[in-house]
Amino acid sequence: MSEPLTKVDSAVQGLSSSPPKEKGHRRTSSSAAGVMNINDLGRKINSSPMTVDDPSILKIHLTKPPVKKIDLHFPLGMEVTARNLKGVTIKDAMDAIYKAYKKRADDELDNPYLAGFEWDKEESWTRLVVHLQKQPSASGVGGGKKKKSKKEEESSAIDGALPIGQNSPQRPAHGLYAEKLSGTSFTAPRHSNQQTWLYRKLPSCSHPAYQPCGGDDDEAKRMHYLPNQLRWDPFDHDEARHLDFVAGLKRVGGAGDPALKQGFGLFVYAAGRSMDRRDAFYSADGDLLVVAQEGPLDIRTELGWLLVRPMEVCVLPRGVRYRVKLVDGMPVRGYALELYQGHFALPELGPIGSNGLANARDFQAPVASFDDDDDDDFNHDDDDDDDDDGYGDGFESDPESPALNSYAITVKFNHTLFTTRQPNSPFDVVAWQGNYYPYKYDLGRFNTMGTVSFDHPDPSIFTVLTAHPHPSPGTARTPSDRPGTTATP
């Protein structure tokens, strides 16, 4: 049991039984002799194991070889038993611990976090000692994600890459370039100002001029305003199996105009293949809120990875480049809302009080992770079509073309797609700090409010995120301020 489990930047790869090949920008778990290091899960002993970021981790056998029954002994003398006729797994052990502690509040536990298991040599190797700790592992909580709060966040993939006491030193460490990504104007009020400093290997502007590559159909830009209630059938997976996320993102409604920075767009997406590992996309029109309905999305952003599963939502801010991979080739389908004006924010709680609905502590941001040009993070072994070369629409696969050694960057600007190529990876941010970054939220953590007496409250009690500002305080931004329209997802 001394072989450590390891954590990698992408939660899709989960935890493995042996450390990956060491790379300077990978984050690995600490190891301790005789202890199985699952402390990277950051699990509280009074929380359900089903809330882990990657449920496949729970299927790993707790011991090698597997055993059908094992006792788990706590330092203070308490003991629980985990059983499974097919072999006790991590889930079986965590379930047994959870059943023993689920009625205990956090403040009742001196050491609430699970640190790992160790064979009890005094009992002839027939039981495991459970190790606990006061704080979660420093290497990460929740599968390589960080909690989002109102204060600024920061993350670094290499020690010393993040400047101390300043934002733009004359010579950043490791030969990096400092860039500022602004989500608001520089002079926006302090409480609403959103910006993040990025420290990357090469400037993001080091590429040729963008050229139009589609999506500029005037008919597609024009909205048809109808007084009828409209519904759409789900997009067919068969029709979308050759499409990646960008090609499968279709606008079906909305209001306003991104050129005027007013309104929003409603999208439905369906995809059957991953974006190529040398493709990246971003929108200059607005922040994109993605609601995963079927199939998980493994999204690599400039600031790090986000694994978005069904029953989770994520927000990809305007100007942040990203690339979407399908997990195990599983087709995906879902919804998206692009906000042309302002940014998504938590709603005011009013009489609800200080807690309720979506809590800020449950939003998660990515950990810094940069891409080596020879890093093969994205492959297409999961593609079903042998003729599929892995490249998105508009880029033909030509073995003799030098373009195959470059990266294609596509931007959506006023509903028109533009593209350029650059020799270096866009995912070269080694460290970042600020309050403008992509994030995700598990809808299972939403604290629903309702009536206990009579009648039915308005649907606004289910608001996760809303759009500000609006001339009337507490009101979500709408494109026309007509009754019955709303920008609240």
65-105 pLDDT per residue, tens? 888 888 888 877 788 898 998 888 888 888 888 888 887 87
Domain that holds residue 70: 11-133
Q: List, by residue number, the catalytic residues.
A: 456
Residues 90, 231, single domain; the answer is no
In whole angstroms, give the CA distance from residue 204 to residue 181: 11
Residues 120, 249, single domain; the answer is no
Residue 221 domain-assigned (yes or no): yes
| 3-state SS class at 151 | coil
By the 8 A CB rule, do 48 and 35 touch?
no
Residues 120, 215, single domain; the answer is no
Tell me phi and psi for residue 213, to 5 degrees: -140, 20
Residues 127, 236, single domain; the answer is no
> Which 8-state DSSP code applies to residue 234?
P
Report the domain count for the chain: 2
Residues 296, 385, single domain; the answer is yes
pLDDT, tens digit, 9 for 90 and up, residues 115-135: 888 887 666 667 888 888 877
Tell me phi and psi for residue 27, to 5 degrees: -105, 120
**CATH code assigned at 259:** 2.60.120.10
Could you please report the per-residue DSSP string of 340-388? Answer: SSSEEEPPP-GGG-SS-BS-GGGEEEEPP----TT------TT-S-TT-
**Domain's final residue, options 83, 109, 133:** 133
By the 8 A CB rule, do 35 and 118 touch?
yes
Residue 450 domain-assigned (yes or no): yes
Residue 328 domain-assigned (yes or no): yes
Residue 160 domain-assigned (yes or no): no
Give residues with Cβ within 8 angstroms of 28, minimum separation 6: 6, 7, 19, 20, 22, 139
- pLDDT at position 183, please? 84
**Domain's final residue, options 133, 153, 170:** 133
**Domain's final residue, options 133, 162, 183:** 133
Residues 123, 265, single domain; the answer is no
CA 430 from chain centre, in angstroms, equals 18
Whether the predicted model's global pTM rises above the 0.85 cut: no
Size of the chain, expressed as the number of residues it contains = 489
Residue 75 domain-assigned (yes or no): yes
Residues 299, 425, single domain; the answer is yes
The H or E element that residue 239 is part of is helix 237-240
Residues 447, 333, single domain; the answer is yes
Residues 259, 348, single domain; the answer is yes
Spans in the chain with pLDDT lower than 70: 1-42, 51, 53-54, 121-125, 137-151, 214-222, 373-405, 468-489
| 3-state SS class at 227 | coil
Share of the chain above pLDDT 70, in %: 73
Residues 293, 419, single domain; the answer is yes
Residue 6 domain-assigned (yes or no): no
Q: Name the residue among 82, 138, 95 with its Cα closest to residue 115.
A: 138
Residues 123, 247, single domain; the answer is no
Residues 236, 118, single domain; the answer is no
Residue 249 domain-assigned (yes or no): yes
In whole angstroms, give the CA distance from residue 289 to residue 297: 13
In whole angstroms, give the CA distance from residue 5 to residue 28: 9
Residue 475 domain-assigned (yes or no): no
To the nearest whole number, what is the mean pLDDT of the chain? 77
- pLDDT at position 481, please? 40
